[in-house]
């Protein structure tokens, strides 16, 4: 038995998309695949929930489903309200955040401090996720950002071509960066050198 879980069919207009769907069903039927109409969206649409995200081709945006917004929002609020959460609770919230990144444009900028707090707590407690931990003021600010911005969060399907490209690198000795022909870099100070290069 062979399975195809998800297929995404597109075309330039409604009629071509309809033809694409008909041709695809005909082909899959010809090679003895079973089509499940009740699990399929066979009528072309410009707004669809796909793989847990709402994809809107009218606005050219991806957003979270209302259920996901509520789930992640409540998780962030509960974490904010818990004075000493378990490391596991923090890890679960971070997992929900990371899963939402395709639909939350600035989400990746607002989880790093919580991630660093979690990593530090795991080192301190030798990997025991059931131990409790505190949250830095930066992590709390990020959690509040999620609570405030989740209801209107979205991401663009296409951000266009970049206007500026900067390349960077870091090693145990120092760092460097380059924009076009302009370069900069240097060695770490003795204090900076004590930290991981991602610090």
Q: How many domains does the chain have?
A: 3
Structural domain of 1: 1-44
Segment (H or E) for 100 = helix 87-100
- Give a yes or no: residue 103 inside a domain: yes
Asked if 13 and 55 touch (Cβ cutoff 8 Å), the reply is no
pLDDT for residue 94 is more than 80 = yes
Let me know if residue 58 belongs to a domain: no
The region of weakest confidence among 28-42, 96-110, 156-170 is 28-42
Same domain, 74 and 151: yes
Query: Of 78, 57, 77, 56, nearest to 65 (Cα)?
Result: 56
pLDDT band at 35 (very low <50, low <70, confident <90, very high): confident
For residue 53, is it within any domain?
Answer: no
Sheet holding 182-187, edge to edge: 166-170, 174-179, 182-187
In a domain? residue 52: no
Residue 149 lies in a domain: yes
Write the CB contacts of 199 (distance below 8 Å, at least 6 apart in sequence). 192
Residue 51 lies in a domain: no
Q: Which of 121, 136, 156 is the C-terminal boundary of a domain? A: 156
| 56 domain-assigned | no
CA dihedral 105, 138, 186, 120 (to 10 degrees): -110
Return the axis-axis angle of helices 137-149 and 112-124, rounded to nearest 10°: 140
């Amino acid at each position: 038995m062979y399975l195809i879980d998800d297929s995404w069919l597109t075309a330039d207009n409604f009629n071509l998309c309809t033809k694409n769907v008909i041709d695809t069903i005909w082909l899959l039927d010809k090679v003895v695949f079973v089509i499940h109409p009740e699990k399929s969206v066979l009528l072309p649409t410009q707004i669809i929930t796909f793989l847990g995200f709402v994809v809107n081709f009218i606005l050219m945006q991806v957003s979270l489903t209302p259920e996901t917004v509520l789930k992640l929002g409540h998780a962030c609020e509960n974490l904010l309200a818990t004075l000493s959460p378990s490391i596991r609770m923090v890890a679960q919230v971070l997992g929900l955040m990371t899963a939402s990144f395709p639909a939350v444009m600035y989400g990746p900028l607002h989880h790093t401090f919580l991630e660093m707090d979690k990593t530090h707590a795991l080192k301190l407690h030798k990997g025991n996720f059931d131990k409790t931990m505190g949250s830095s003021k930066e992590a709390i600010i990020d959690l509040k950002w999620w609570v405030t911005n989740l209801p209107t969060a979205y991401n663009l399907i296409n951000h266009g071509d970049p206007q500026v490209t900067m390349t960077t690198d870091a090693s145990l000795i120092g760092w460097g960066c380059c924009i076009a022909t302009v370069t900069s870099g240097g060695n770490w100070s003795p204090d900076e050198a004590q930290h991981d290069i991602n610090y």
